[in-house]
Amino acid sequence: MTNANPMMLVELLKGHRTYIQTHNYPDPDAVASAFGLQTFLRYHGVEARICYDGSVERMSTKKMFKVFQIEATDADELKDMTEDDYIVTVDSQKYNANLTDLIGDEVACIDHHPTYIPCEYRYKDIRTVGACASLITEYFVITDTPMDANTAAALAYGIKMDTNDFIRGATELDVDMFDYLFKQADKEKIREMYSNVMELSDLNAYAAAIESIRIFDEVGFASIPFDCPDAMIAIISDFILSLEMITISIVYASRSEGIKFSVRSEVPQKVDAGELIRKALEGIGSGGGHKQMAGGFMPTSADTPVHRAQIEALFLRILDPENKSKQALTPDSLDLCYDGVQFVE
């Protein structure tokens, strides 16, 4: 069990207007964690409002709000937030590139990612587990706080999604907490979440990635030469990793302001995805994450062509410093040029 004392968090927040902030463009684990924490705090007399910056991109995340009846507010609509308001960040940490610094005071943090830029909080629970939703679930367990079937289903879904059904970064805590949740969850709602969670436009991103894939030994690169939601880039990175010959996938997409990356590692003991993206973009961008999954961003000029070979070299110089990689395997394809960043051979 954890050394964290969730009742200390309750006492910290009492008497203050409180917000629960997820990372920008929240995924299912972030939404489930925020919702679970909101339910936990409400039972103990603290009302909290869920918020995030950016937009909800993944179809499965959008569906969560309807299926589990979750209310959340975009940061642009928080006109009444003040410096005296308290913020609890979940599934992210202050100073991370994927968390907008809102005007409120970030007094607490609950997260399962590594810390790259330290920050002092009045309450902190940062542990490396498969899903942040597992940490929130444990709060109910250790305080004997009752949980309704709807909240249990949302948290269970968050754990399943972030651990990729327990094959990515799952720990004993994730398994134990899912077992606790599943026994009391509304299972029909969990089943409902697995239908109709892909949009027709998602197929364009899959097609672009498949056509552009290049493989160096066991490292697979794929580019999406148009603006693509962060969540879809991550999903395609998982898809590329599922190929038999690939143990590391690096997928990147064009944005008007730069390039967004998603990295996956099937061999975390050998290649730490978070460290790989951090080192690859050091000095020219930002990145980080778990040993098995990570993301990053590199600002570029919209009118400057970016060569695929340049992007590949950023990573291969770390993965293969002696330049022993075999020549890339690649499908027959033409140079691609779209609005924003250009990817050229």
Arithmetic mean of pLDDT, 56-83: 90
Instruction: Identify whether residues 181 and 248 lie together within a single domain.
Output: no
Q: Which of 50-59, 62-71, 322-331 has the highest mean pLDDT?
A: 62-71
pLDDT value, residue 146: 98
Same domain, 212 and 155: no
Residue 338 is predicted with a pLDDT of 32
Are the C-beta atoms of 138 and 175 separated by less than 8 Å? no
pLDDT, tens digit, 9 for 90 and up, residues 298-328: 888 766 667 888 899 999 999 988 776 655 5
Write out the residue range of the structural domain in which residue 147 sits: 6-192
pTM here? 0.74
Those residues with Cβ within 8 angstroms of residue 14's Cβ, 6 or more apart along the chain or in another chain:
45, 46
| 283-300: pLDDT as tens digits | 888 888 889 999 999 888
| pLDDT for 38 beyond 80 | yes
Based on its alpha-carbon atoms, the radius of gyration of the chain, rounded to whole angstroms, reads 20
Specify whether 85 is located in the same domain as 180: yes
Per DSSP, helices labelled H in 91-168 are 132-142, 149-162
CA–CA distances in Å: residue 308 to residues 119, 251, 312, 313, 341: 36, 11, 6, 8, 11
Asked which of 192, 214, 229 is the last residue of a domain, the reply is 192
Mean pLDDT score, 160-169: 89
Query: What average pLDDT is seen over the chain?
Result: 88
pLDDT of residue 309: 87
Q: Residue 138 has what pLDDT?
A: 98
**175-184, 208-217, 296-305: the lowest-pLDDT one:** 296-305
pLDDT, tens only, 109-147: 999 998 988 999 999 999 999 999 999 999 999 999 999
Taking residues 73-86, what's their average pLDDT?
Answer: 92
Tokens read off for 65: 């709000």
Burial class of residue 328 (count of CB atoms within 10 Å of its CB; 0-12, 13-18, 19+): middle
* 169 and 286 both lie in a single domain: no
Are 114 and 234 in a shared domain?
no
In a domain, 197, yes or no: no
- Do 136 and 75 lie in one domain? The reply is yes
Which pair of tokens denotes residue 189?
Answer: 């709602």
Look at the alpha carbons of 88, 288, 136, 152 in this order and tell me if their dihedral is positive or negative.
positive
Rounded-to-integer distance, Cα 62 and Cα 239, Å: 21
Using the predicted structure, report yes or no on whether residue 97 has a pLDDT greater than 60. Answer: yes
With respect to residue 155, please indicate whether it lies within any of the assigned structural domains: yes
Which class for 122: exposed (0-12), middle (13-18), buried (19 or more C-beta within 10 A)?
middle
What pLDDT was estimated at residue 332?
39
Q: Does the structure show a pLDDT above 90 at 263?
A: yes
CATH code where residue 53 lies: 3.90.1640.10
Copy the structure tokens of residue 9. 């968090």
Please check whether residues 188 and 208 belong to one and the same domain: no
For residues 335 and 249, state if they share a domain.
Answer: yes
Report the pLDDT value the prediction gives residue 158, as an integer from 0 to 100: 97
Q: What is the pLDDT of residue 220?
A: 95
Is 63 within the bounds of a domain? Answer: yes
Could you please report the per-residue DSSP string of 191-247? Answer: HHTTSS---TTHHHHHHHHHHH-EEETTEEEEEE-S---HHHHHHHHHHHHTSTT-S
Q: Mean pLDDT lowest for which of 169-183, 211-225, 321-335?
A: 321-335
CATH number at residue 297: 3.10.310.40
Give the helix/strand (H/E) hosting 262: strand 258-265
User: Looking at the predicted structure, is the pLDDT value of residue 344 above 70?
Assistant: no
| Residues 206 and 184 occupy one common structural domain | no
Q: Count of alpha carbons within 13 Å of 280, Cβ hemisphere only?
A: 30
Q: In sequence order, what are the residues at sequence separation of 6 or more whose Cβ sits closer than 8 angstroms to the Cβ of residue 310?
A: none
Q: Is 95 left (phi over 0), alpha (psi -120 to 50) or beta?
A: left
Higher pLDDT pick, 341 / 301: 301
Residue 330 has pLDDT above 50, yes or no: no
Residue 196, pLDDT score: 65
The verdict on residue 1 lying in a domain is no
Q: Mark whether 175 and 242 lie in a shared domain.
A: no
Is 297 a domain residue? yes
DSSP one-letter string for 48-84:
EEEEESS----HHHHHHHHHTT---EEGGG-TT--TT
**Taking residues 43-58, what's their average pLDDT?**
91
Phi, psi of 85 (to 5 degrees): -75, 150
Here the tokens at position 224 are 């999406």
Q: Assess whether 178 and 223 both reside in one domain.
A: no
CA pair distance 256, 188, nearest whole angstrom: 41
pLDDT at 99 over 60: yes
Domain ends where: 162, 192, 222? 192
Q: How many domains does the chain have?
A: 2
The last residue of a domain, from among 160, 192, 224: 192
Cα distance between residue 268 and residue 34, in whole Å? 28
Does pLDDT of 342 surpass 60? no
Percent residues over pLDDT 70 in the chain: 90
Tokens of 119: 């920050």
Same domain flag for 101 and 156: yes
